[in-house]
Amino acid sequence: MEARENLDRVVEGVAAAHQGLLAMLDEFVSDGRLDGGVPSRLPRWSVGHVLTHLARNADSMVRAFDGAARGEVADRYPGGTESRDAEIEGGAGRPPDELVDDVRRMIWRLEQAWSGAVDWDARCREVDGREIPLHHLPFLRWRETEVHRVDLGLDYEPADWPSTYVRLDLRELEMRWNARRPMGMTGLPAQALAADPPTRLAWLLGRTTIAGLDPAHVF
């Protein structure tokens, strides 16, 4: 995960990703092409599910920063996976303008939360019980924004991912891949190494296939 010294670069990347996402959504809303009920590229999730997830993900990070400001280790998702999934399901069927307004509002709140005086070494609690430092959250948000923007199926593809994001996440996920392999069997398969970086990253994220390989699903 990205270290403290890279925070400025990562936060700039997240801000650009947020603005790109909102510009895309505004365009689709303005010409009537955004339909929250249309299936996304994720199994069993509609476009409305993905947008609601993006909003609630930002909400969870605001909760973490607010908790740290009070000197608490906050649960990002109080109630665990069941509560998180219920929130996504409950919000998925809203009209397009409400879905987009929710995403916009939570992006604003998140960027406000981490633009002030933050103890980046304070910790929050993930849904699986792990505690992580707040300085991990901006990169996690960058990944969520870039990957789920592709999942929406709205004319944004892995080839459109910023090169800095691709480079940083490839480094992270390749390390995870190696950590899960038996001793002496580390290193990506030759077919993956032959792919261009965005395709390789999409494969590691389970978002595309490469001939001769099963999707990796490292993330």
Each residue's pLDDT expressed in tens, for the chain with a length of 219 residues: 556 778 999 999 999 999 999 999 999 999 999 999 999 999 999 999 999 999 999 999 999 999 999 999 999 999 999 999 999 999 999 999 999 999 999 999 999 999 988 999 999 999 999 999 999 999 999 999 999 999 999 999 999 999 999 999 999 999 988 888 776 667 899 999 999 999 999 999 999 999 999 878 776
CA distance 169 to 177: 12
Long-range contacts, 127-132 (Cβ 8 Å, 24+): 127/75, 127/76, 127/77, 127/80, 127/81, 127/84, 131/73, 132/1
Sorted by where each begins, the domain ranges of the chain are 4-156, 162-219
Element spanning 125, H or E: strand 123-125
Q: Token pair for residue 86?
A: 């219920």
Instruction: Check: pTM over 0.85? Answer yes or no.
Output: yes
Rounded-to-integer distance, Cα 48 and Cα 93, Å: 6
Are the beta carbons of 66 and 113 closer than 8 angstroms?
A: yes
Q: Tell me which CATH homologous superfamily contains domain 4-156.
A: dinb family like domain (1.20.120.450)
